[in-house]
Amino acid sequence: MELGRKLLERYGLTHSKRLGQHFLFDRGILERIARCAMPLSEDRIVIEVGPGPCGLTAAILEICKPRRLYCVEKDVSFEKLHRDFAADHPGKLEFIYGDALDIRPQSLTSNQNFSIIANLPYNVGTKLLTNWILDPVGIGKMTLMFQKEVANRINAAIGTKAYGRLSVISQLFCEIERLFDVPAGAFYPMPKVDSTVINLVPKRTELTTDDINRLQNLTENCFQKRRKMIHTILKSKYPEPVIKETLAQCNITPTMRPEEITPSQFLRLVRHIFRDLALIKN
Ligand code: SAM
C-alpha cells in the first residue's frame, strides 16, 4: 500500500470519489484476479477498463501474458504514469482515454474472442456490465470486480431479496462463477463496502435485438413492482385473454411475483407476448 501511495504522490495524483477510484496495490490479490482470467483465448487479446495506477495492468501482463492489452481510462491525469508504464512494455499496451460507457469494446479490436478484465468503478459497474452482456459479440470472458452487493445481485438465487433485473439478464446471457471476496481494507482509499470478483462467460443465444430490448423493458417494469402479482403487473399493459394464454403457456401461475419467476420463464414470457402472439408493443 505504501509503495502505491508513493507512486501516486510521485505523479502528483490524488483520488476522485466521483470516478470510483479505490485502488488496489496488494500484489497477491492483483495476481489472484489475473489468474482467474486464465486461460485466455488463443489470440490473447485483453481489454482492461479503468487501469488507474496500473496495479492490475501489471498483474495482467505478468500472469496472463496478453499479446495486446487495451486499457480504457476516463481520468486523463494518469496519462504521464501510463506513458512511463507503457515504455517498460513496448508493443503490448494501448491506452485509450474516454468514458468506457461510450466505447464499445468491439471498436478497440476486430478480434472475435477477447477478454475483459477490470476492477470496476462502483458508480458505473452495473451499467457497463449490462452494456457488455447485451452486446456480447467477441467477448469470450469477463473477469470483473464489483462491490459485493452488486455481485450478490448478479448471482442471486430466485426468490431471494437480491434477485432482480440484473440477476435475470446476467443469468440468462452468461455462465457465472463467483470467485472470491476482497475486503474493503485492501483498497486505497478504503471504500465503505467489500468487493467480489466474478467470472462471466457469455452464452451463445439466438436472441434478436428486439427480444433483448423487450426483455429489458419487461424485467424493468416487473421488478419496479416486485411485490405485485405478475397478473396484476401485466394487466396494465395487455388484454386479459393475452395474459391468461401467455402465463399458461409459460407455466407461470398468475399469482406469482416477479421474484419467483426464473430467467428462462421471463424469456418465454417475452417471446410469447411479442413473437407468438405478435403483439408488437413494448
Ligand atoms: N485498476 C485500478 C486498480 O485496480 O487499482 C483502478 C480501479 S478503480 C476502482 C476504477 C478506475 O476506473 C479508476 O482508474 C477510474 O478513473 C476509472 N474510471 C472511472 N469511471 C470510468 C469510466 N466511465 N470509463 C473508464 N474508466 C473509468
Same-domain pairing of 95 and 223: no
β-bridge mates for residue 73, sequence order:
97
Is the CB of 23 within 6 Å of ligand 1?
Answer: yes
- Are 198 and 179 spatial neighbours (Cβ–Cβ below 8 Å)? yes
Give the closest residue (by CA) to ligand 1 atom 6.
52
Q: How confident is the model at residue 49 (pLDDT cuts 50, 70, 90)?
A: very high
Same-domain pairing of 37 and 153: yes
Same-domain pairing of 193 and 231: no
User: What pLDDT does 280 receive?
Assistant: 42
Same-domain pairing of 159 and 74: yes
Is the CB of 74 within 6 Å of ligand 1?
Answer: yes
> How remote is the CA of residue 147 from the centroid of ligand 1, in Å?
13
Could you give phi then psi for residue 172, rounded to 5 degrees?
-70, -40
| pTM of the complete model beyond 0.85 | yes
Instruction: Answer whether residue 282 shows pLDDT above 50.
Output: no
- Cis preceding linkage at 241, omega within 30: no
Is the CB of 51 within 6 Å of ligand 1?
Answer: yes
Same-domain pairing of 128 and 215: no
User: What pLDDT does 39 receive?
Assistant: 96
Same-domain pairing of 116 and 72: yes
Query: Candidates 73, 130, 197: which one to mutate for ligand 1, based on the most atoms within 8 Å of Cβ?
Result: 73
Taking residues 135-154, what's their average pLDDT? 97
CATH code for the domain of 128: 3.40.50.150
Same-domain pairing of 106 and 33: yes
Q: Are β-strands 195-202 and 139-147 bridged in parallel, bridged antiparallel, or unpaired?
A: antiparallel
> How remote is the CA of residue 260 from the centroid of ligand 1, in Å?
35
Instruction: Answer whether residue 142 shows pLDDT above 80.
Output: yes
Same-domain pairing of 62 and 93: yes
Same-domain pairing of 270 and 220: yes
Specify the amino acid at residue 116. I
User: What pLDDT does 273 receive?
Assistant: 81
> How remote is the CA of residue 133 from the centroid of ligand 1, in Å?
19
User: What pLDDT does 213 receive?
Assistant: 87
Domain count, the chain: 2
Q: Give pLDDT tens digits for 218-275.
A: 999 999 999 999 999 999 888 888 888 889 999 999 999 999 999 999 999 988 887 6
User: What pLDDT does 278 receive?
Assistant: 58
User: What pLDDT does 6 receive?
Assistant: 93
Last residue within a domain, chosen from 202, 232, 257: 202
Last residue within a domain, chosen from 154, 177, 202: 202
Query: Candidates 75, 148, 188: which one to mutate for ligand 1, based on the most atoms within 8 Å of Cβ?
Result: 75
> At a CB cut-off of 8 Å and minimum separation 6, what does 222 contact?
165, 230, 233, 258, 261, 266
CA atoms within 13 A on the CB side of 215: 27
Boundaries of domain holding 266: 209-281
Q: Give pLDDT tens digits for 67-92.
A: 999 999 999 999 999 999 999 999 99
Last residue within a domain, chosen from 202, 224, 248: 202
Instruction: Answer whether residue 137 shows pLDDT above 60.
Output: yes
Which runs of E-coded beta strand occur in the chain? 23-24, 45-49, 68-73, 93-97, 114-119, 139-147, 174-182, 187-188, 195-202
Same-domain pairing of 215 and 92: no
